[in-house]
Each structure stands twice: as structure tokens, then as C-alpha cells.
Structure 1
Amino acid sequence: MLPDTTITPDRIAETEKRIRPHIRHTPVLHADMADFGLAPGCLDFKLEFLQHSGSFKARGAFSSLLGRDVPAAGVVAASGGNHGAAVAYAAMRLGVPATIFVPSVTSPAKAERIRGYGADLVIGGERYADALAASQQWVEEQGAMAIHAYDQPETLLGQGTIGLEIEADIPDIDTLLVAVGGGGLIGGIAAWFQGRVRVVAVEPEGAPTLWQAFEAGHPVDAPAGSIAADSLAPKRVGELMFPIARAYAQRPVLVTDDEIRQAQQVLWDRLRIVTEPGGATAFAALFAGKYAPASGERVAVLLCGANTTAVRFD
């Protein structure tokens, strides 16, 4: 199986121009491995949690809304939370009706964001797969346009624009660590770099969707546990992203829930950065020693989401 020829660097660059007025070029924070008790070396953080709606998902949402004809019935999406918030935000900005189906595991922070952007929020079962089935029924009944969280060309093209920004801001990058759920994020980024940068997938042990796909040679159903279940636990990775990942990404690294929690705490203690569990998962691989850089290797970590109520200001 070869990578989809529609997910190319040229098309990602075209998508970036289309969505540029609607998204933020998020900053990079330069640090040192020694700041975290690791062997000294360059370490960069791509602060994508500063994107509109609190995660990278706004890129794919705007890519879809601006690249397709939206019917009068508006759009519908199934989401663990971040994709739904992004679609709701993009729909609000563009004046389009939106209905978002989420599972019961969705965090209150994400549900509040979706409602706050004016979308209709519907609880559709216990897991993402349940919400997806409910959203598909809504498409059949109402004629709304579905925006898939990770298995749709426009979604991957939008997420791939992060790779474009990273390469512009860190031209000498060697390695990028990326958290994986359904795979739209790493699929788009890997399609941009096409092997020029080592792209390392990181997943929770409780939701090893890409790891099991690598083992089987194709997407397969995987467990959907972990504290990051509302962002990194679909039933399986996308069909579009898998050939891209197999061609241009490293075999996934698995981290435990405790390692994810520790990564969240360290990011807060050392950098005063608050992330949700899924947003800290890529850094967990580095901090826990699951990914060990070589001497002189320039590593970047994508911090992809911060929709959480972990910190409250009273």
C-alpha cells in the first residue's frame, strides 16, 4: 500500500496559504535537555496548544470548511473533544451551523468549549467509535457535511501545515516527537517531511492504535484506554495515514499513564506550561527515556493540546 498521492508537500503548502488568515503560526520555545535532568542538548517545543480552540485540530477543521462546499444543513463531526471544539470554532468563524457528537468520556473542559462556540453538542455513546456512528446517522438523516477527525484528505493536509511551520522555524531539526490517536496529525506532518526529519510516533500503552497497526501491517482495532482516552483512543488509526506513517515515521514508542502524568507535571514545574494528557504524551517518551536522542541530535516535541481543567484559578 502506497501513501495517498493527494497528501503531498505541494498540497500542504497550498492548504497553508488557504487557512493562514484563520489560524495562528504557533511559536517554538527553545530549551535544553539539561533543563529536565536529561543529557545536555538542544530541545525545542512546538506550542501548538496555543492554536485556536486549544489544539492543532483547528488546522484540519478550517482546511475542510474552506476546501469543500458546505450544505445548508451545515457540518457534523464526531470527536473525543478537541476536533469537535475545532470544528465548532471554525464553523462559528465562518457562519456555518455545526453539530458535534462526543462520547461520555469527553472532558468537561472540551464539552464547555464546544458549547461556547455555539455548536449543538450531543453525547453519542461511551467511546469515540460510538460518537462516530451517531454522527454518520446524522449525516444520512440531515444531509450535513461530515468532517472526519483524522481519516479525510483535508484533515491531513491541514495538520500537515504544522510540519511546514516547524521546518521554517527549526531548519536544523533532526527529530520530531508526535503523539498519535487516529493519526491525522502524524500522517500530515510525516507527509510534509517525507523522511527529511525523523518523525517519532508516541502512544499511550492503553491505546496502542498505530503500534498494533505496525504489528499487523494494516489498521486494526485496538484497546481504547488510558488517561488520554478523550484525545488518543480511537478504535483504530486512519486508512489514509497508515501508508504515510509506514513510509515516513518511526515505529511507535509506548508510554504509561504514570509517565504521561509525570510529563504534565514536569512541563508545569519547569516551564509553567499546562497541557492535557494527550498534549504531554510526546514529551513523556523523552522524559521517561523511552526515546533516547543521540549526542548532538536536535529534538523537537509537539505539545498538541491543552483543553483541560487540571489548573483552576480561584
Structure 2
Amino acid sequence: MTLHIHTPLIESRPLSLAAGSNVWLKLDALQPCGSFKLRGVGHACEVHHARGARHFVSSSGGNAGLAVAYAGRKLGVPVTVVVPETTTDRAKDLLRLEGAKVVVHGSSWQEANALAQTLVGPDDAFIHPFDDPLLWAGHASLVDEVAEAGMKPDAVVLSVGGGGLLSGVVEGLQRNGWGDVPVLAVETEGAASLHAAMQAGHSVELERIASVATSLGAKRVADQALVCVQQHPVHSHLVSDRAALEACERFLLDHRVLVEPACGAALALAYAPGALAQYQNVLVVVCGGATATLEQIQAWLQQVD
């Protein structure tokens, strides 16, 4: 019994018509905490709990923290989440709803993370939002479920923030013997740390995050993401904030599921006419996100170019 659930795999008629391919959706927005993060975070929390951890500490302004809070509540382990000052009231409310203690510190995730590290005692476990082999192993279960369903895609489309989902999906593809299936890694133009690293050939720190897709806001991608690029066919794609936001609205209309702009980035590529036409069957990871509201998405749309 895992903390995450098996999520639906459905064929999307609207996206298939837009893309000119058969588009399949892995609906991880339907995880109990609202995002794919529960796969890896839940796995990490279960492992640390089995090793005797009495308290989980995390640093996250959003979905990773929610996943830790959910896992802690289910396992009966208290949770402290350190969030930066930029974290929305809604995100903090959702964390408290799961019973987590919320500490607000610093102007960025990096500063929140630095404080979180100091709060970890000898009987505690620190749960990283994206850079941990336990997380990648858990995220790989997403591909296992697709394989069990008997659908081998010609390509996988996913959003990249810190690189945890990318690392897990590549691990899942390889452990299922699908090393030939390319991953189309999508970022918004103001949060493209993987794209910058792929161009430079090494890890690069962005000066700042200039995107409404704050869940993609890692200034530096995990080193494992670069290892994946070297070991697996990974193609980098960039979309605008506007395209990501419009994809969120369109997806809500098409499938009655509200996702964050970070997830909208991957959907934007699928909605772009002909962008996926070279592939017959495409898997899009609908990674979700619990902290955005429709009002917020519409407000952002009025602000972007």
C-alpha cells in the first residue's frame, strides 16, 4: 500500500485534435495532495519512517511541502515546512489544513531551505523537494503505471522545475526498457534552468526567476537532471508565461481539472498546433499543482505580455 494513488491514464480528444497526435494524459493532478510530488515524497517519507524518523522537515513554498504534510499526517509523524515570504496565503492555509507547522523565512526558497536544514534534529528526516534518489525512485512509479496499462508512448511531455520529475520519469522509462522514448522537457522562458544548463553543458544558476510559474522556480536544476540528459534522449522546449496560463484555462474547459502554470507549460506544448505531430502517441504528464486558483490565473493573464 503506497501513499500515492494509481492515477487515470486517459486519451484526450481535445488535445489530440490540437496536437495532431494521439495525446494521452497521466492525470497526476488527481493525487490526494494535488500533484505528482506525492509519489516521490511519499516514498521518501515511508523509507525514513521505517528507519525511525519521528519528525519530517521540508522547505517548499508549494506542492512538495503539501506532499510532505499529507504523508506525515497519514503516517502519524509531525511535519514542519519552511516557506519563503513569497508563498501565497492559500499555500500556507493548505499546509496547515494537513496539520503541518508552517515557518515563514527568507525571500527565496534557497533562504527557506537554509533555515530548514538547521531545524533537523537527530531523530528527524529532511525531505528535499526535488533532489533526492528516493524521490526519483518514487516518481518513476508513474511510468510503471503506464507500462502496466499496456501503452508505450512515442514521446513523454513533462514540465521541469528542479528536475525531480524528469529524473524520476527517465528512471521509470529505463527500468521498463523504454530507453528509446524521448522526453520533451518544457520550461517557461523565465524559469529555464535546465535549458540554460543544457546549452552550457554544466549546471548554471539563473540570476532570478522571472515567471508566474513559480513551481518551476529552481534557479539551478538538480545535477541528476543533467545526468539524465546525457543518458537519455531529452529535448528542451520553452513556452511563454502567456501560453502556460492560457493552457491552464483551456485544460479546465476541456477536462474540468484546474492545474498550476507550472503544469500548464507542458500542456502548452501539446496545445501548440503541430508541435507534437512527428509522434503518433504522446504521453503528457499532468503534474497538477494545488496552490493556484482560477482567479489568480486570470489575474496573471492580465499582467503578462
- Work out the CA distance in 1 between the residues paired with 2:161 and 2:260: 14
Question: How many residues align structurally?
Answer: 288
Secondary structure in 1 matching 2:141: helix
After TM superposition, give the deviation of residue 196 of structure 1 in Å: 3.2
> What residue ranges of structure 2 are gaps of 5+ in the alignment?
296-305
Q: Does 1:22 align with 2:6?
A: no
The share of aligned pairs that are identical, in percent, is 32
Residue number among 216, 219, 224 corresponding to 1:232 in the alignment: 216
Q: Does 1:71 align with 2:53?
A: yes
Superposed CA deviations along residues 117-176 of structure 1, whole A, max 9, x for unmatched, are 11111112222112111111222x676311111111111111111111122225231111
Residue number among 87, 90, 107 corresponding to 1:126 in the alignment: 107
- Work out the CA distance in 1 between the residues paired with 2:28 and 2:190: 24
- Work out the CA distance in 1 between the residues paired with 2:10 and 2:233: 23
Q: Does 1:47 align with 2:27?
A: yes
Aligned pairs (5 A) from 1:111-260: 111-139=92-120, 144-194=124-174, 195-222=179-206, 223-229=208-214, 231-260=215-244
Task: Find runs of 4+ consecutive structure 1 residues off by over 4 angstroms.
Answer: 33-36
Q: Amino acid of the residue matched to residue 252 of structure 1? A: S
The answer to whether the 8 Å contact 1:186/1:245 transfers is no
- Work out the CA distance in 2 between the residues paired with 1:311 and 1:154: 33
- Work out the CA distance in 2 between the residues paired with 1:235 and 1:31: 33
RMSD (CA atoms): 2.0
After TM superposition, give the deviation of residue 33 of structure 1 in Å: 5.6
Partner of 2:250: 266
Residue number among 56, 70, 77 corresponding to 2:36 in the alignment: 56
- Work out the CA distance in 1 between the residues paired with 2:64 and 2:98: 13
The answer to whether the 8 Å contact 1:151/1:241 transfers is no
Using the size of structure 2 for normalisation, the TM-score is 0.88
- Work out the CA distance in 2 between the residues paired with 1:249 and 1:159: 18
After TM superposition, give the deviation of residue 290 of structure 1 in Å: 8.4
The answer to whether the 8 Å contact 2:188/2:238 transfers is yes
> What residue ranges of structure 1 are gaps of 5+ in the alignment?
1-19
Q: Amino acid of the residue matched to residue 210 of structure 2? A: G
- Work out the CA distance in 1 between the residues paired with 2:116 and 2:30: 28
- Work out the CA distance in 2 between the residues paired with 1:36 and 1:262: 17
Deviates more, 1:269-278 or 1:63-72: 63-72
- Work out the CA distance in 2 between the residues paired with 1:118 and 1:179: 29
- Work out the CA distance in 2 between the residues paired with 1:270 and 1:238: 33
The answer to whether the 8 Å contact 1:156/1:187 transfers is yes
